[in-house]
Structure 1
Amino acid sequence: MKLTLCIEIGLLSHAVAQANFPVALNSTFGTAGSRNVRIDTGTYGPPVEEYHYFYDQWPIGLAVSKEGRVFTCYTRGTYAYTLGEVISETAEAAYPSLELNTPPRGLSNVSNGITFGSNDESHFISVQALYVTPDDTLWVLDTGRPTITQEEKISMPYAAPGGPKLVAINLTTNSINKTYTLPPTVHYPDSYMNDLRFDLRPNVTESGGGIAYIVDSSNEGRTGFIMIDLATGESWRQLNQHPSTQAISEDVPSYNGIPFYLRQQGHPLGFQEEGLDGAELDQYGETRYLRANPNSDPLANKNAFDKVRNLGQRGGNANGFTGDSLGNVYMLMPEHNAIFIYKYARIVQG
């Protein structure tokens, strides 16, 4: 299986700094210090370009179209919208419209005394990731699991069928082309869709429509990959709870040398529990072991498990990464205030 896995990332985005650690809104400093972020001296690599400033909503993902349009997404809490487009150096607007970002019945529903995320298939609930394919389609990954506040406690309700979805938007018409929802046998109530990649080659499925690979980083341990046949809409899971997709027990990330823990009122210090956070296809797209549907191939799960290989350590906790046609994988490394580049050397077997 030629699939680069990024395991145990996204740690800093869900963590809280230890008490009394000074945190500034502007995370860059003119001089380095024991409690300051390292500065870019400009002695290596191209200069940094400041393109956009976020003031009202903090983004979780972005994507850029062929024409240079920039789209951003925000995991939903009290934000007015969860999918936006950059319209100036300091502002974004709801995309494609505020209406599509506003489920009429709200972001969550209560059933038998239990709160679930909205089951609205036609509106965006809480978008985690974006991706633009070569045909200039914007793909939107909606977890269906917003952050809510009940009795002064912040929580994330379980997903309800219909809420978690993959949406394709035509950037020429700014309209939705297609929406893919997932059955409860594929997307569990505790699933959390974190990232996505595509293989659009016509020969990867019998339908010829290509396939979407979605990461499930469930913080309750039911991690794995979700695959969708883009022509038929059929979906399935692979590598369920494989060790490579699981959280590392009692892992403590740090930022500038300061350890980060999960903090909840009335609870002891906790640890990050989400597992697999992202994925990147290699330039050869050899993912046939994930493409096999366990519903039609009884050996699919075993073959996928057997083909996982450990490609080594990254040198820190990464948060977001992508690849290029040369086989490089670029990893954002918050712990180092840097971008790491991993060079994948293809191993030819046979």
Structure 2
Amino acid sequence: MADGRGRLWILDTAAPNFSEPIKRGAKLVAVDLETNRIRKVYTFTVDVVLPTTYLNDVRFDFRVGKAGYAYITDSSTRGPGAIIVVDLSNGNAFRRLNGANSTSPDPYMLPKVEGQILMNRNKDGSTSPFRLASDSLAISPEGKILYFAPLTSRHLFSISTEALRDRTIPDMDLPFHVVYWGEKGASDGMITDAKGAVYAGDYENNSIRKILPNGTMETIAHDPRILWPDTFSIGPDQYLYVIVNQLHRQPRFHYGKDLRQKPYSLLRMKIGEFPAPTFFIIK
């Protein structure tokens, strides 16, 4: 993502096809858009990126600390989910809500997409439940609240970013700082606008939902072309941009047969709102 300050941020999972991440391979990279050169690389210790870790979404707030903070979801398929907090001034990173209910898959959920239950279907005919931990991520306009949700879950949660950064709060007590917002549909991509509304995909229903700061939810788009909405972005043109990646049609879910259809799509819709800022705006 571009941060509006001349940098492009790239999150390298170092875990192709959800494999075990290459040791010291996972990283967060800042690229200078003016020179097209790498400005900074942040790597992670083995107690942050575990053998089961799959780094996924990232959100930034450059208004706190010396250089800002990044918040990254661990979307593990076979280990604990978590939110990884990174101090951008020195690269120090640590796991929070590790294995908590709010970052874990809903064990009772059976995702259903395009009329079919989503599950791992292997070439040899064997099957297993599809489970994926904390994924969706969005930050409030003032940077004080982080919204998140596991991918195989229909529930929305939030937590104070101050509590996440405060390591004097023991891990066992941190779940008490989590706020439950109710069911918003099963989502992958998620983002907030400048007024604090959260936009979240609903991959089971080919839809996009808007959640207002008072908790009111509404469906703002419903279309058969919205095939697994992901990677949300709000532009200065007040459009919401959404990638539809057809994730549920991948070979792993269909006994090795790839059902995805090209061309892939980038959709947009006018929402009449600006993106949430990540740094102070001087007027």
TM-score tier (shorter): 0.5 to 0.7
Structure-2 separation of matches of 1:255 and 1:180: 36
Number of aligned positions between the proteins: 199
- What do the CA deviations read for 1:24-48 (whole angstroms, capped 9, x no partner)? xxxxxxxxxxxxxxxxxxxxxxxxx
Match of 1:313 among 172, 178, 183: 183
Counterpart for residue 164 of structure 1: 26
Mapped partners of 1:144, 1:191: distance in 2: 10
The equivalent of 1:330 in structure 2 is 199
TM-score by length of 1: 0.54
Deviation of residue 234 (structure 1)?
0.8
Q: Secondary structure at the match of 1:312?
A: strand
Aligned residue identity for 1:252? L
CA contact (8 A) 2:139 2:191 kept: no
CA distance, structure 1, for counterparts of residue 36 and residue 126 of structure 2: 47
Secondary structure of the 1:277 match is strand
Q: Is the 8 A contact 1:251 1:272 kept in 2?
A: no
- The answer to whether the 8 Å contact 1:261/1:270 transfers is yes
Counterpart contact for 1:320–1:331, Cα < 8 Å: yes
Aligned in 2, Cα 1:181/1:171: closer, same or farther, shift over 3 Å? same
2:59 aligned partner, one-letter code: R
Segments of 5+ residues of structure 1 without an aligned counterpart are 1-130, 148-155
Q: How big is the shift at 1:292?
A: 1.7
Deviation for aligned residue 1:334: 2.5
Distance 1:213 1:167 in 2: 14
Partner of 1:285: 143
Which protein has the bigger strand share? 2
Cα distance in structure 1, aligned partners of 2:22 and 2:113: 35
Q: Which has the larger radius of gyration?
A: 1
Secondary structure, counterpart of 1:311 in structure 2:
strand
TM-score by length of 2: 0.66
Segments of 5+ residues of structure 2 without an aligned counterpart are: 145-160, 216-283
Q: How far apart are residue 255 of structure 1 and its match? A: 2.3
2:38 is paired with a residue whose SS is strand
CA contact (8 A) 1:250 1:272 kept: no
Does the Cα contact within 8 Å between 1:209 and 1:230 map onto a contact in 2?
yes
What residue identity is the alignment partner of 1:337?
Answer: N
Secondary structure in 1 matching 2:204 = helix
Measured in 1, the distance between the counterparts of 2:49 and 2:207 equals 34
Q: Is the Cα–Cα contact under 8 Å of residues 196 and 278 in structure 1 kept in the other structure?
A: no
Match of residue 36 from structure 2: 174
Identity of aligned residues (%): 32
Query: What amino acid sits opposite 2:36 in the alignment?
Result: N
